[in-house]
Amino acid sequence: MPTGRMPGVRGDVREIPHLRPPVDLLEQPPCPFHANWSAATSSAPDGWSADMEVVILPGPDDCGRVVADILARAVGNGGAGTRPTLGLATGSSPLTAYRELIRRHREEGLSFAGVRTVNLDEYVGLPADHPESYRSVIRRELTAHLDISDDDVHGPDGSASDPLVAAREYEQQLRDGGPVAVQLLGIGANGHIGFNEPGSSLTSLTRVKTLTEQTRRDNARFFDSPDDVPRHVITQGLGTISRAQHLVLTASGAGKAAAVAAAVEGPLTASCPASVLQLHPHATVVEDEAAAAALERADYYRYTLEHKLPHQPF
């Protein structure tokens, strides 16, 4: 935050009431950039360092199977006595993967015993038991069907009397909980991940964000009326998300094509928050043909996938 004179402003900005940042912002460390990136790289298992992997598959069910493979491997990798943490997203994109995990649990005995889950985000102002609160959605779409206890399903408290405090507390809870093994992500048509709308700092931490009107319109399908979509959310920041050991973004449908291309092949920029994946040591983008339609290097990604070595897992 500015601590002294700003061009065109006389005096110290902290003395001007409408420019004075909240006290807690002044108290934050000057710039979390280095802390976040070194945390991200050092939390990559076994010094893993790879390029972003782009996996193009025919349709959403194929994407769901690959994403489920990655999540199932993370659960299996935990080993006895460990409690792997999975980072979960809501919305339509992860649903095929969630259905596949539920199927494997029921039909193949895949166990999630001891697994903790952390949600990416939550609407501000919806009670936790509202059917569209992200806590309810994750329970309904996934965890209630697995051997994961409700006590191990975590998310921001969107109904807290002070959402700013709730956001800080969630950030602390995430830090205390240790590394997230895999963070699953969808992508907004405007390039958001979590609810880091365009313009979000690439090093941001968990905080309250105001949704764009486009995002509110996109999410209106889950509510009785577009006016019911909350305006504010608590979301993990881009720096928070980047601390996960493996980022897996999944997308399907033509409506995501421009955002996927900007995230994967565009410049690293806060204008496309998902482009932060380009900095991560282990990021996988799994999308169907329609969502891949605007990728310039699509043929190369397909070729790479076709010639993947047996010991090169996702």
Q: Which sequence positions are flagged as catalytic? A: 121, 190, 192, 197
Show Cβ contacts of residue 136 under 8 Å, excluding neighbours closer than 6 positions: 128, 129, 130
Smallest distance, ligand F6R to C-beta of residue 297, A? 23
Judged by CB under 6 A, the stretch of 14-22, 48-56, 79-87, 185-193 that binds ligand F6R is: 185-193
Map residues 14-33 to x or -, x wherever contact with ligand F6R holds by CB under 6 A: --------------------
Smallest distance, ligand F6R to C-beta of residue 284, A? 15
Q: How is the beta sheet containing 182-185 ordered, strand by strand? A: 53-57, 283-288, 246-251, 182-185, 85-88, 116-119, 153-154
Say whether residue 93 binds ligand F6R (CB under 6 A): yes
Return the residue of 158, 179, 186, 237 that touches ligand F6R, per CB under 6 A.
Answer: 186
Map residues 96-135 to x or -, x wherever contact with ligand F6R holds by CB under 6 A: ------------------------xx------------x-
Q: Which is nearer to ligand F6R, 222 or 314 (CB)?
A: 222
Return the residue of 21, 53, 69, 92 that touches ligand F6R, per CB under 6 A.
Answer: 92
CB 191 within 8 A of CB 198: yes
Say whether residue 192 binds ligand F6R (CB under 6 A): yes
Positions in the binding site for ligand F6R (CB under 6 A): 89-93, 120-121, 134, 186-188, 192-195
